[in-house]
Amino acid sequence: MRFPFRLATTLAFCAVVAGGAVALAGSPAAGTSGSANVPVPAEVVINGRKVLDMGFATLSSFPYKVVDIASGATKEQIEAAAQQDQIPPAVHAYDGKAVVLTGFMMPLQLEGGLTKKFVMMKDINTCCYGAIPQMNDYVVVEMKGDGIESIQDIPVRLTGVLHIAEKREEGYVVSLFEMDGEKFLGPLK
């Protein structure tokens, strides 16, 4: 899935301006995995399918420092940073897993009132009110099918397959998390 370069540049720049590091998202959950105190998502059943109830407490549980063109890094620094995986193994363990994700939607493309590509954000401030998101505070989602209704300002849920990998485009870090969206569950109830 290709991430729009303009948004990628904006998000990467914002993360750099904010210092490129993420504070731990509160106290770890009762169950943690690995030495990074990564909260373990619960397994839930949705529409007869077992999925992990993935939350940003897990995805945002580690510090991430952006090293790319926007941070003013040299070519050598960028190349060295690309070789060092900052994503903990405990988070990588969820790569390719079926999940249900809750977050705030920011559409990237709208056609006929529907969005097929959007960003799920950790909180309403990074979604709708201009706070600067950290690289692990959002998931880039591409839905199957014709798209879904864009619902903003309230948390929504969807199921899909999570992909975890640092993505770089044209010298910029553009995302850490992507998701193949399968079913939109609507607003959180």
* pLDDT reported for residue 113: 87
**159: how many CB neighbours lie within 10 A of its CB?**
20
Max intra-chain CA distance, the chain: 50
Q: Hey, what are 133's tokens? A: 């998101």
Read off the pLDDT of each residue in 45-73 and give the average, rounded to a whole number.
Answer: 94
Q: Any idea which architecture 5-187 has in CATH?
A: Beta Barrel (2.40)
DSSP string, 29-79: PSSEETTTTEEPPPEEEETTEEEEEE-HHHHTSS-----SGGGT--HHHHH
Which residues, other chains included, contact 20 with Cβ-Cβ below 8 Å and sequence gap of 6+? Answer: 64, 65, 66, 67, 71, 134, 135
User: Quick one: residue 89, left, alpha or beta (phi over 0 = left, psi -120 to 50 = alpha)?
Assistant: alpha
Which of 157, 173, 155 lies closest to 165, judged by CA?
Answer: 173
Distances (CA, A) of 177 to 16, 63, 136, 164, 167: 18, 15, 7, 5, 8
Q: Hey, what are 170's tokens? A: 């044209």
* pLDDT reported for residue 126: 66
Give the distance, in angstroms, between the CA of residue 58 and the centroid of all CA atoms in the same chain.
11
Using the predicted structure, report yes or no on whether residue 6 has a pLDDT greater than 60.
Answer: no
**C-alpha span between 94 and 54 (Å, rounded):** 9
Read off the pLDDT of each residue in 38-46 and give the average, rounded to a whole number.
Answer: 94
pTM of the entire structure?
0.80
Higher-confidence position of 30 and 1: 1
User: Quick one: residue 96, left, alpha or beta (phi over 0 = left, psi -120 to 50 = alpha)?
Assistant: left
* CB of 118 closer than 8 Å to CB of 141: yes
Which of 4-18, 29-43, 122-136 has the lowest average pLDDT?
Answer: 4-18
Q: Is the sign of the CA dihedral 43, 45, 46, 50 positive or negative?
A: positive
